[in-house]
Amino acid sequence: MTSILVSLAVEAELAPWRRLRRFRQRQSSNSAVYETTVGCTPVVVVLAGVGARRADLTAALAAEHRPGAGIVAGVAGAAKAELEPGDVLVAEAACDASENETAWSDPWLVDCAERCGAKRVRRFVTVSRIARTPETKSRLARAGEAAEMESMMVMQRWACEGIPAVAIRTIADSVNDTVPYDFEAASDSAGQVRLQSTFGQIIRRPWELPSLVRFGIASWRATVSLARYLDRFVEELALQQSRQSSGLSVSTT
């Protein structure tokens, strides 16, 4: 059975999904890889890190498993006022902030994601730094609806392997929200955020601690929403793949 490959950035984005479904952590040097089965379909999840620091690993897994679908997912910051925390989005493409490079989602996967309840948007903007302020996010609105840090790089590598892919994001902060601390600076060499690394920032700016608590709650809710959606979406993809392998027609309703 053809597998499904999912790329998330950090452990916190996977944790709620692990409470919904049993995952096995791959016991090797690549401990950032988790596996499960949905129906008869193998599902492989890789933690690519903030800024897709392990993008090469996502490409290696694509070459190893030759998945029938790739999903690059995670949380994002809204660049448009109509988007609210908890919204699940599927993008037709992901581009860089200058709009010089674009990676396109597979149209069939976009349609399927929309049928599963995601809101279709034009583009995600893959940025090199976290969009922390309303001013920064508003400037990105011309390029796309939401800002994130991994989609374009991962999708480009999967495109080189001929893997059909789609970009899925859940909004964690609205366009008017300010991200209180620099979580990118608190990430390790693998792009995993270590909260203890924010302690120095908290000590220097303790008045922002209530904002950190509010942001943490909103981010947790966004990851829970993402997990529920991904589980539903992957189940639908597994069902469609099962129908195809059985020679049955694929539903488009």
pLDDT score recorded for residue 215: 75
In a domain, 186, yes or no: yes
User: How far, in Å, CA of 132 to CA of 138, rounded?
Assistant: 11
In a domain, 251, yes or no: no
Reported pTM? 0.86
In a domain, 153, yes or no: yes
DSSP 35-74: EEEETTEEEEEEE--TT-TTHHHHHHHHHHH--SEEEEEE
Domains: count for the chain:
1
Range of the domain at 27: 4-245
pLDDT score recorded for residue 187: 60
In a domain, 250, yes or no: no
In a domain, 13, yes or no: yes
Series of mean pLDDT values for 10-residue runs along the chain (253 residues): 91 95 82 92 95 92 95 97 96 96 97 98 94 93 96 96 97 89 58 57 64 78 96 95 68 43
CA-wise closest residue to 54 among 180, 200, 157: 157
pLDDT score recorded for residue 201: 58
Identify the CATH number of the domain in which residue 10 sits: 3.40.50.1580
In a domain, 172, yes or no: yes
pLDDT score recorded for residue 79: 96
In a domain, 252, yes or no: no
Angle between helices 55-65 and 151-160 (to 10 degrees): 30
In a domain, 164, yes or no: yes
Sign of CA dihedral 141, 146, 147, 153: negative
Residue 75 forms beta bridges with which residues?
170
